[in-house]
Amino acid sequence: MSVKRFLISTTSALCLVAGSAISAHAATLIVGNKFAGTVSFVDLDTGKEINRVETGGSPHEMVLSPDGSQVVVVSYLEEGYIGQELNLFDVASAKHMQTIDISPYMAPHGIAWLGDSNEVIVTTEETRDVIKVDIEKGEVAGNVSTKLIGSHLLALSPDAQTAYVTSRGSDKVSVVDVQTMEITHNVDTDRGPEGVDISPDGKELWVANNQSQNIIIYDPQSMTRVDEIDAGFLPIRVQFHPDARYVAVADLRGDRIVIYDRETRKPHQEIDLASHGAKGPASLLFSPDGNYLFAGAQESGLVVEIDTSSWTVNRVFEAGPGADGLAFSDVKLIG
């Protein structure tokens, strides 16, 4: 099965309906409901969940194909279950297309699409590996062992040549050469590294440490520490705005999003989610144009849409229990 490649134009604007502002995205938001083993497909024109379909157990992270037509969802782990598969869905129809067996690798979690190829790169936490999977062939195409505990999330360099993997049980970040699938660096972090993202210009790597409640900023080339932010809260996710000026950080226990100014390293804005009924923000995703920030609130089964021009909550969408992993596609749902 080939991954289709075509371009679909994007339309993003604000319009008024019945006296209130709604977003006219002409796009689809996909949400992994990790407590229910389902995936929600939300029409961003209406803000309504159009489809909710079953997937493998514990669907945490997901990634979109380069053309936005397909989404790959991991099956991670939970009590009594350890995932050994990836599941592929067609965005327009919300139909399940393929289950890819990745055994003997177990508990896939962090995932990124490798440029314009047919391959994704995935952490497999239980077996302490990072693997490449050919989606077209439906098979594992390469692997490297981190030999570290809790290899959980990854960030991919803008040129898709390097992956940065956080191992929260070993307090390390590993640098993986994607072409050779070799680890070039294992660097100390502080306690409990998890959230990780690289700036769009490739000049800064931000690693959020849950237990020490800080964010370390590295030079991605040398992996030397260049700065540190004392967050004072559990910063479970970090996400750069597409223009790289701001960085969003999810405060899991504080039910809020903190927006940092990249240059000053200071909070620019705080967005309260609890007042909108959204608790436990554990995922972040900017729309490609940067106009919106989406946050999955796992405890409430909701997704919050934030207008980045004002850093205010625009809408709240219903998803499923444990709303977590997010993907934004320009492809419009057809049913």
pLDDT value at 22 more than 80: no
Q: Are strands 151-156 and 139-145 parallel, antiparallel or unpaired?
A: unpaired
Tell whether the model's pLDDT for residue 260 goes beyond 60.
yes
Strand, coil or helix: 25:
coil
pLDDT reported for residue 26: 73
Least-confidence region, from 19-33, 245-259, 288-302, 303-317: 19-33
- Residues 162 and 169: their CA atoms lie apart, in Å, by 22
Res. 249 pLDDT band, cuts 50 70 90:
very high
CA gap 105, 173 in Å, rounded: 20
Label residue 24 by pLDDT band (50, 70, 90). very low
Residue 286: strand pairing partners: 293
pLDDT reported for residue 25: 65
Which of 22, 8, 18, 153 is closest to 92 using CA atoms? 8
Nearest in space to 120 (alpha carbons), one of 108, 128, 107: 108
pTM: 0.92
Stretch 236-264: mean pLDDT, rounded? 98
Three-class SS state of 127: helix
Q: List domains and CATH numbers for the chain.
A: 28-329 (2.130.10.10)
Give 78: exposed, middle or buried? Use CB within 10 Å, 0-12, 13-18, 19+.
Answer: middle
Please write the tens of the pLDDT for every residue from 196-206: 999 999 999 99
